[in-house]
Structure 1
């Protein structure tokens, strides 16, 4: 059993947090703020379960990770303290920018529109956690447990958690938990049938430990070309004492001699993410076509939309309007926007007739068309160069940068339409498999600095994009990448750098697998009469994050937030306190419920 201070009464209320990264931290902060408003005090225990001792930061923002792993989220957007009521229990809660400016050592040049290291964000979150611990009301005891929860067992009206403390093979238990917030983040692997070993690495974090086993001068293939890929590459280069040197706008790489001989990235599309320039503080874009007013005219089918037939045309119109608005500006002209798209299109058609040398913007090409296979390495390097150049020009002037940034502005409304089965079953499947990754690739890419590093490594011959576009992967002693044209290379090491998703039907993870066996959670099925069902892989929850059984019965004692809700919500992989905020309502409802129960017990 976990250590329990003798001063805690036996009849105290016990609440558990499973997974205590940022989402768990946000939940505890809101719960303490709500509990502190109540005048009548009774003993409460908060049991925090986290796989490591990085409470508040979790593994992704662990303060001990290397400083070259950067956020792709501007400093100004980060604030662990809620702007809503009730106010936080700590004195003088600080935004991340304020915290950075008050910590002058190591942060001499603080900018709201800059990008900090994940380690710096982790220190900020950890310090916030420590402030909460110090400011906690006397009747509330916070008990951290370092360990991975393996199962939740129902015991009458309460629960017992079984977890591994990392020190022995024994499972330890905590009984009489009355309410549980589950914020477990990403599962650890994409392929449950393959185990990580010396030649195959299924998860790169922490990079200094997981990538240490890769010997210098080896050939490395990396599956996935997103943010995790960039972290893996930097771990194998800058993390091995390689140096990036910047002269003017040009960045070059100097080898340390400890790097791999060659790195071969690959993915289904073979496309790199678009780099992000500074967007914080820029004017908010107000959509002309993909907005609530025009969506009222769409006919849904029992509250469900067809993404490709109904929503995508409006999104495409928005992309076209933004692109040509910037192109018009380059020619000293203005595109007059109207809710009537035909009027906008007429202006664009006249402009293109007058300027036949200007390429016609094609939304689908911009979104997902792969680069020509001929000389794919050179084409990819040139594409990266152009995108860096446009990101440096910025969203206010560059047509490419502004258009790439657009999905960030549209996704909030899209999430409202998408969440809790808002798309038709097969339309949700189509969106997730065909469009979601490409839209995220446009708007949620790395900071410019990191993309410059990738360009420098490619120029130095360390990265080769020749097999980037959907090669055949074979295992024949070594890992073999084969292109459509028959060329192939062998790699000593394969790294999986894709972001894992919760897939209850194929890779639930031990905790969720056991919870399904206990009947505590059930897979979500998107159903529509007369249509094929779709199972996105997530669990069934209601709009407050409580799990539901197939009959619709809700269990309010359990609440999920963050990554476990993906599939019923969209875009959870963020530090935002506002996007898909389940914990604020959870904290308020739980506080009210606890005090009602205490009042009822006193009356009896």
Structure 2
């Protein structure tokens, strides 16, 4: 062939950086010293990308402790490529602090340097500091590439990919006349903006007619919150991490402060009335580390069970066919830990219990009876249905009564999630990660699982929930309850919110905020790149995700055929994982995907050169 082989990676945030790290690790063995042009396209800085960029409020935190964040593989990742060890975020900060690593870029900025000086493993870093770590990982990964690989950074947006399946691709960039020519293209574009759906359009039109404020789903850090005025009520629909960001920016971000566990308002805060389907915030991040024997996972949803399920005739229904095995896996992790670490709360022989547990049908009466006999206190049993619907059947006569009850719920959750005496919760977290590693093989399994995982395993730091309690006591945050509904009252020109938890009561406000991420479906995305891919034949799943081969990330067409020259990784794909980075020594499904895609790309590119490396 003429010219140098060319690989274009669209998206240079954490996922793109992880792919570059795997290309660097695999290139010596698979590609040798053959020439390669590696193009990285992103409007945001490489490494940090949009979510972790330096240009955002320093008040915004990660929802993971520093010791639980790594971008490097280890021997727990089931990958073919070599492990290249590297520091987790807390170890990197220690290396910078102690002079073993030279900070680069934003890490040398005084505010971040001050954070590095005090950061310890169980601290929750700012997102800006995570961005500095990601930038360092990116630079290290680029430096580890063979000298024959030339990296080209393009600060802009990719608009379209064209080209035949058996020929070179062309990537058109915003503001650039000539397209990039690529032998392979990999999309690692992360979360994207979207146009509002029909309901959001209706609510926005209502707000425009009556001079109200309506903020549709968005990335909170990028939202213009200036229209939310001091002292006025705001209805907030959504109680996940987007709400936590909103809470921070409208309180500390407007000059409020915390003193001795109490919130001291600045007077610039609105009053946030927050509700959701569950009516409670995501569970607190667990505030202690693992000690002792780990549950041997996977046990009931491993590769063999996954293969058996995938081989069944007809389409699989997640809740009917797959979830029972996930539930049994989580239960196994829970009870294994209970028997090994807290045997005084059990009444059966562990070996006998596990033998019967293994043969019982998932979700069966026999399994429930076995657990009830062996674990006498219902509080020590795992009930995922009750966890998912914490306020089912709970009713209060007034919103004032609901406030104290919700504060009690949050305080109890904080106590439990910071008590090693309930370390079975951490075992369930490990079970969730193990299950995720198998579930990506099923493609699009719907949104329920991802929401449940986030609610149970990816909630806010404990300090954030303590701040939420203080804001509630100060009257800055008010809880609406479960099953929150919002209506637009044309006659009176206001939004009204109610819930199943406080029947008959309504809250009025002239502002409504949808605290959640935008819908990623092809008909809603603002990404001209994704829209063009779908128009050119890339298939979408029932929920609008980009269909990909779960093995190596190749984009699929409507007949299920993989495109030989186009790949995609990340949250817009049917093989989405729990995140682009993870805790050390937890298997890292995204790392496994990155490795498989890097190896597939390098193998393909090697075949084009026709020369020895």
Q: TM-score, normalised by structure 2?
A: 0.79
Deviation digits for residues 125-151 of structure 1, max 9, x if unmatched?
A: 112223445565543332222222222
Tell me by how many angstroms 1:108 deviates. 3.7
Match of 2:508 among 485, 490, 495: 490
**194-203 or 496-505, larger mean C-alpha shift:** 194-203
CA distance in 1, matches of 2:460, 2:594: 28
Aligned to 1:168: none
Task: Sort the Cα spacing of 1:536 and 1:117 in 2 relative to 1 into closer, same or farther, 3 A.
Answer: same
Tell me by how many angstroms 1:597 deviates. 1.7
CA distance in 2, matches of 1:361, 1:592: 46
Q: Determine whether 1:222 maps to 2:222.
A: no
Deviation digits for residues 554-588 of structure 1, max 9, x if unmatched?
A: 212111111122x3455346546821332212222
Match of 2:8 among 16, 25, 31: 16
Alignment of 1:84-95 (within 5 A): 85-86=81-82, 93-95=86-88
Tell me by how many angstroms 1:412 deviates. 4.0
Tell me by how many angstroms 1:361 deviates. 7.0
Aligned to 1:33: 25
Aligned to 1:592: 603
Contact 1:275 1:387 in 2 (8 A): yes
**229-238 or 477-486, larger mean C-alpha shift:** 477-486
Deviation digits for residues 490-547 of structure 1, max 9, x if unmatched?
A: 223322221345323554743211111122x1123xxxxxxxxxx2322221121101
**114-123 or 365-374, larger mean C-alpha shift:** 365-374
Aligned to 1:392: 418
Tell me by how many angstroms 1:51 deviates. 2.6
CA distance in 1, matches of 2:30, 2:559: 36
Match of 1:349 among 370, 373, 379: 373
**280-289 or 327-336, larger mean C-alpha shift:** 327-336
Aligned to 1:523: 540
Match of 2:189 among 184, 192, 198: 184
Task: Sort the Cα spacing of 1:466 and 1:513 in 2 relative to 1 into closer, same or farther, 3 A.
Answer: same
Alignment of 1:198-217 (within 5 A): 199-205=213-219, 207=221, 210-217=224-231
Q: Name the SS for the 1:593 alignment partner.
A: helix
Aligned to 2:69: 78
Contact 1:204 1:232 in 2 (8 A): no
Contact 1:65 1:206 in 2 (8 A): no
Match of 2:529 among 508, 511, 527: 511
Deviation digits for residues 400-447 of structure 1, max 9, x if unmatched?
A: x634x4442223443355334379xxxx45xx44x5523431222111
Contact 2:56 2:128 in 1 (8 A): yes
Contact 1:35 1:591 in 2 (8 A): yes
Task: Sort the Cα spacing of 1:326 and 1:489 in 2 relative to 1 into closer, same or farther, 3 A.
Answer: farther
Contact 1:479 1:492 in 2 (8 A): yes
Unaligned runs of 5+ in 1: 1-9, 166-170, 525-534
Q: Determine whether 1:579 maps to 2:589.
A: yes
Task: Sort the Cα spacing of 1:501 and 1:204 in 2 relative to 1 into closer, same or farther, 3 A.
Answer: closer
Contact 1:222 1:264 in 2 (8 A): yes
Tell me by how many angstroms 1:56 deviates. 0.8
Contact 1:241 1:256 in 2 (8 A): yes
Task: Sort the Cα spacing of 1:570 and 1:190 in 2 relative to 1 into closer, same or farther, 3 A.
Answer: farther
Task: Sort the Cα spacing of 1:93 and 1:325 in 2 relative to 1 into closer, same or farther, 3 A.
Answer: closer
CA distance in 2, matches of 1:574, 1:441: 18
**10-19 or 208-217, larger mean C-alpha shift:** 208-217
Task: Sort the Cα spacing of 1:203 and 1:124 in 2 relative to 1 into closer, same or farther, 3 A.
Answer: farther
Alignment of 1:105-120 (within 5 A): 105-120=114-129
Contact 1:62 1:118 in 2 (8 A): yes
Tell me by how many angstroms 1:466 deviates. 2.8
CA distance in 2, matches of 1:349, 1:473: 47
Task: Sort the Cα spacing of 1:151 and 1:493 in 2 relative to 1 into closer, same or farther, 3 A.
Answer: farther
Contact 1:472 1:481 in 2 (8 A): yes
Tell me by how many angstroms 1:18 deviates. 1.0
Task: Sort the Cα spacing of 1:128 and 1:213 in 2 relative to 1 into closer, same or farther, 3 A.
Answer: farther
Match of 1:97 among 90, 93, 99: 90
Contact 2:160 2:529 in 1 (8 A): yes
Tell me by how many angstroms 1:216 deviates. 2.5
Q: Determine whether 1:160 maps to 2:161.
A: no
Tell me by how many angstroms 1:111 deviates. 3.4
Q: Determine whether 1:459 maps to 2:473.
A: yes
CA distance in 2, matches of 1:296, 1:184: 28
Contact 2:18 2:580 in 1 (8 A): no
Task: Sort the Cα spacing of 1:557 and 1:220 in 2 relative to 1 into closer, same or farther, 3 A.
Answer: same
Q: TM-score, normalised by structure 1?
A: 0.80
Contact 1:265 1:464 in 2 (8 A): yes
Q: Name the SS for the 1:152 alignment partner.
A: strand
Task: Sort the Cα spacing of 1:340 and 1:42 in 2 relative to 1 into closer, same or farther, 3 A.
Answer: closer
Task: Sort the Cα spacing of 1:421 and 1:228 in 2 relative to 1 into closer, same or farther, 3 A.
Answer: same
Tell me by how many angstroms 1:180 deviates. 1.1
Q: Name the SS for the 2:478 alignment partner.
A: coil
CA distance in 2, matches of 1:597, 1:127: 32
CA distance in 2, matches of 1:346, 1:38: 52
CA distance in 2, matches of 1:590, 1:205: 32
CA distance in 1, matches of 2:558, 2:161: 20
Match of 2:430 among 394, 409, 427: 409
- Give me the CA root mean square deviation: 3.8
Aligned to 1:544: 552
Contact 1:30 1:584 in 2 (8 A): yes
Contact 1:208 1:239 in 2 (8 A): no
Contact 1:190 1:202 in 2 (8 A): no
CA distance in 1, matches of 2:380, 2:596: 49
Contact 1:505 1:523 in 2 (8 A): no
Contact 1:547 1:554 in 2 (8 A): yes
**546-555 or 567-576, larger mean C-alpha shift:** 567-576
Task: Sort the Cα spacing of 1:499 and 1:334 in 2 relative to 1 into closer, same or farther, 3 A.
Answer: farther
CA distance in 2, matches of 1:439, 1:147: 33
Match of 2:356 among 321, 324, 340: 340
Q: Determine whether 1:290 maps to 2:300.
A: yes
Aligned to 2:361: none
Contact 2:163 2:170 in 1 (8 A): yes
Q: How many residues align?
A: 553
